[in-house]
């Protein structure tokens, strides 16, 4: 049905007469203009739950269900054979009474902090530099991303060969000392993940409005002052995202430790994920291993929520970075 065409009111004729737009047949009631398609609910711009259903099901099947199973097993005694037997809080009590657990927790926190500082500083500097007017920017971005495409196992095997005391590049037993092994783990993790975080900061820096730099330049700010007063504050939301990913990634860092040091020398690099591996696949105590895994999930979730809360990331409303 086509839209109705309003009737023209003759000159000098009062509104509301002769079926004019001012009324209906002299009744004094105003005519209601109903365009074509009126009364139909518009769905433009309205999200439908059905669109998100595949992603929700995928997440539930590969994340929520395994987490729920691990949490259940943390209250059981199970060696991988037969049926799990409920033991209540025995595994949790054992975990908090274990001296190795305290040392492992400290090593995990230390590795997380050192990795975050090292990776964040380099990623921010490289990302801001790559966001500038560089030649072959696409090529640089592709090169930055290559290490992230490799598996952690392949990277760990590569560096294990390079650090071999007999046939490696340095020909020194770096992995044989506590400090050397710890720094090697930090360096290998940085080599793998800095490219990804560099791309995050590059994208964030390119979204900063140019007018902010122009205003700072008019006020007499140099390049370094613009970096500290304009670039870094505008990258705070990107930094929050990067930090959450780094923290969660470090708390699940396992392959590199297993291949490079096997928790050694001694137990000097036995972080929580490696302790979980030993409990499950060396001692076959899957209940205790599940308790450690559940504890890791609680730590990662809690730290992520605290970061989001403190930085105000969840209150961001602008599509512009940092605004």
CATH hierarchy code of domain 64-78+85-315: 1.10.3720.10
Domains of the chain by residue range:
64-78+85-315
Give the pLDDT confidence score for residue 69 in this predicted structure.
94
For 77, the 3-state DSSP assignment is strand
Summarised one tens digit per residue, pLDDT across range 252-309 is 889 999 999 999 999 999 999 999 999 999 999 999 999 999 999 999 999 888 988 8
Q: Is the four-CA dihedral 142, 148, 153, 156 of positive or negative sign?
A: positive
What average pLDDT does the segment 60-68 reach? 89
Which carries the bigger pLDDT value, residue 316 or residue 298? 298
Q: What angle is formed at CA 279 by the lines to CA 243 and CA 115, rounded to 5 degrees? A: 20
pLDDT classification of 314: cutoffs 50, 70, 90: low
What is the residue-wise DSSP string for 88-113? TTHHHHHHHH-HHHHHHHHHHHHHHH
What average pLDDT does the segment 26-37 reach? 52
Residue 312 pLDDT exceeds 80: no
Pair 15, 23: CB distance under 8 Å: yes
Summarised one tens digit per residue, pLDDT across range 183-202 is 999 999 999 999 999 989 99
Evaluate if pTM is beyond 0.85. Answer: no
């Amino acid at each position: 049905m086509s839209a109705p065409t309003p009737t023209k009111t003759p000159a000098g004729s009062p509104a509301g007469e002769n079926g004019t737009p001012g009324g209906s047949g002299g009744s004094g009631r105003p005519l209601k203009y109903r365009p074509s398609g009126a009364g139909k609910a518009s769905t433009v711009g309205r999200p439908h739950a059905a669109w998100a259903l595949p992603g929700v099901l995928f997440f539930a099947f590969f994340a929520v269900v395994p987490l729920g199973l691990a949490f259940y097993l943390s209250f059981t005694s199970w060696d991988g054979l037969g049926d799990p037997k409920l033991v209540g809080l025995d595994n949790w009590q054992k975990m908090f009474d274990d001296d190795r657990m305290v040392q492992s927790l400290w090593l995990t926190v230390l590795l997380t902090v050192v990795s975050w500082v090292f990776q964040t500083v380099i990623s921010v500097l490289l990302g801001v530099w790559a966001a500038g007017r560089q030649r072959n920017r696409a090529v640089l971005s592709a090169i930055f991303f290559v290490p992230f495409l490799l598996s952690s196992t392949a990277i760990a095997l590569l560096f294990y060969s390079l650090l071999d005391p007999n046939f490696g590049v340095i020909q020194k037993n770096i992995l044989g000392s506590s400090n050397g092994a710890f720094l090697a783990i930090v360096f290998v993790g940085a080599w793998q993940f800095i490219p990804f975080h560099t791309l995050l900061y590059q994208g964030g820096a390119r979204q900063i409005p140019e007018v902010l730099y122009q205003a700072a330049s008019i006020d007499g700010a140099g390049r370094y002052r613009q970096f500290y007063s304009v670039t870094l504050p505008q990258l705070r939301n990107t930094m929050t995202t990067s930090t959450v990913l780094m923290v969660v990634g470090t708390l699940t860092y396992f392959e590199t430790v297993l291949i490079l040091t096997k928790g050694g020398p001694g137990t000097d690099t036995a972080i929580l994920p490696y302790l979980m591996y030993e409990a499950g696949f060396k001692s076959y105590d899957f209940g205790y291993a599940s308790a450690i895994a559940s504890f890791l999930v609680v730590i990662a979730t809690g730290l992520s929520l605290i970061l989001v809360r403190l930085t105000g990331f969840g209150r961001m409303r602008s599509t512009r970075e940092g605004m």
